[in-house]
Structure 1
Amino acid sequence: MSKSKKINRDELKAGSLKGRFLVSMPCLQDPYFNHSITYICDHSEDGAMGLVLNHPLSDINVGDIFQQLDLVTDQELANEPVFSGGPVQKERGFVLHPQGQEWDSTIAISDKVNLTASKDILASMAAGHGPTRAIVALGYAGWEAGQLEDEIANNAWITLDGDDSLLFDTPAHLRWSAAAKMLGFDLNLLSNHVGHA
């Protein structure tokens, strides 16, 4: 079971949150991030990039993307949701999937999870040869240098170790509450203010 870890600003400057979850605090009211869980795909001194994992788009599914790309459709995957990965470049597609196969633009996020942003993975999925455990998202969440660190310090997010079971085996509508359970307490009972002694 993954453990939460309190990370201070100095640790954030020294390390990376790549491969970790950001679990939004109840005080975060931004419609893109309210009650969200975000998987951090890249984090450096230049900023961070992640994908929101639990906000499915209501008007598009994976089959619609296959159809737009003129791909033969795998019916089992066709009804899977497409997620709003965040407010940046909402027309750009990403696929989070377990490590194994690689495609034109596959990068390793952790020792268990890859990210691919090229059409060839969708063609493989449509033909039934790609990953069956995958999250397809349009758009991403991005933070400028120091922005994410400030948001964490200001109590907008709690970080949690990445967990491929939560990523790929937990239904989207349960991911935020499942992450909260992994933290070991009810996020809805937390204060919206950071205390300083």
Structure 2
Amino acid sequence: MGRSSECAYYRAMESPIYFSGQFLLATPGMADPRFARSIVALCSHDEHGALGINIGQTSDDISFHGILDQFDIPAEGSADKEVYVGGPVEAHRGFVLHSLDFNQSETLQVGDRWGLSSSLDILTAIATDGGPESWIIAIGYAGWGAGQLEQELTQNGWSITPGETDWLFETDARDKWEMAWQAQGIDPGRLSGQFGSA
């Protein structure tokens, strides 16, 4: 954990500070191999826990058109896209992170940054060119119970950064993790596995 993450955690202990709309970056000290080189877009974080979507890994098994086929939704000429492995929780459930020009009653608006939707309606809208201008789709999510993320931020696994909304939509998945570190002026190749232990 970086010094900024450590300071943020201790401030949170004095009065709760939550990180919805920010990004978690896995450090080289990440103990869980499922999250190695992860960059997680935090969509919800409050006293009950946190939910995020990993945008640093794509699936080898399915594409957007494959998901449409599963639900008998015609592609209607829409572009095919890779599907992200959003996390280990509910690994067969789909989520769409998207720009705020699209909103449904079930859409979770993450501040002024992006929306999170999980209904079949958004898939149909995208397939018929009536969806959001910018979007990515993921299967599964990363979840934390009450206080769990705050505790993990005091350990070696994660660093947190406000980041840029463009990270969701405009960077190839394989480059996102390294790009996010470099955007903070840090060469990830020089990070130690004991990063943040001071």
User: Do both proteins adopt the same fold according to a TM-score greater than 0.5, normalized to the shorter chain?
Assistant: yes
Number of the residue aligned with 2:97: 96
Q: Within the alignment, does 1:137 sit opposite 2:138 as a pair?
A: yes
Say how many residue pairs are matched. 192
Deviation at 1:172, TM superposition (A): 1.0
Q: Matches of 2:23 and 2:72 in 1, distance apart?
A: 34
Number of the residue aligned with 1:9: 9
Point out where structure 1 has 5 or more consecutive residues left out of the alignment. none
Number of the residue aligned with 2:112: 111
2:176 partner amino acid: R
Point out where structure 2 has 5 or more consecutive residues left out of the alignment. none
Q: Matches of 1:195 and 1:31 in 2, distance apart?
A: 19
Which stretch has the larger CA shift, 117-126 or 100-109? 100-109
Give the 5 Å matches for 1:15-34. Answer: 15-34=17-36
Number of the residue aligned with 1:165: 166
Q: Matches of 1:75 and 1:121 in 2, distance apart?
A: 16
Q: Matches of 1:38 and 1:158 in 2, distance apart?
A: 10
Q: Matches of 1:113 and 1:94 in 2, distance apart?
A: 13
Q: Is the 8 A contact 2:26 2:35 kept in 1?
A: yes
Over the aligned positions, Cα root-mean-square deviation in angstroms equals: 1.7
Q: Matches of 1:81 and 1:74 in 2, distance apart?
A: 17
Deviation at 1:30, TM superposition (A): 2.3
Deviation at 1:132, TM superposition (A): 4.2
Q: 1:68 aligns with which of 67, 70, 82?
A: 70
Q: Within the alignment, does 1:179 sit opposite 2:196 as a pair?
A: no
Q: Matches of 2:9 and 2:30 in 1, distance apart?
A: 19
Report runs of 4+ in structure 1 exceeding 4 Å deviation. Answer: none
Which stretch has the larger CA shift, 164-173 or 67-76? 67-76
2:21 partner amino acid: G
Deviation at 1:130, TM superposition (A): 0.8
Q: Matches of 2:94 and 2:147 in 1, distance apart?
A: 26
Q: Is the 8 A contact 1:74 1:125 kept in 2?
A: no
Q: Matches of 1:159 and 1:18 in 2, distance apart?
A: 11
2:47 partner amino acid: E
The alignment-based identity, stated in percent, is 35
Q: Within the alignment, does 1:47 sit opposite 2:49 as a pair?
A: yes
TM-score by length of 1: 0.90
Deviation at 1:97, TM superposition (A): 0.3
Number of the residue aligned with 2:149: 148
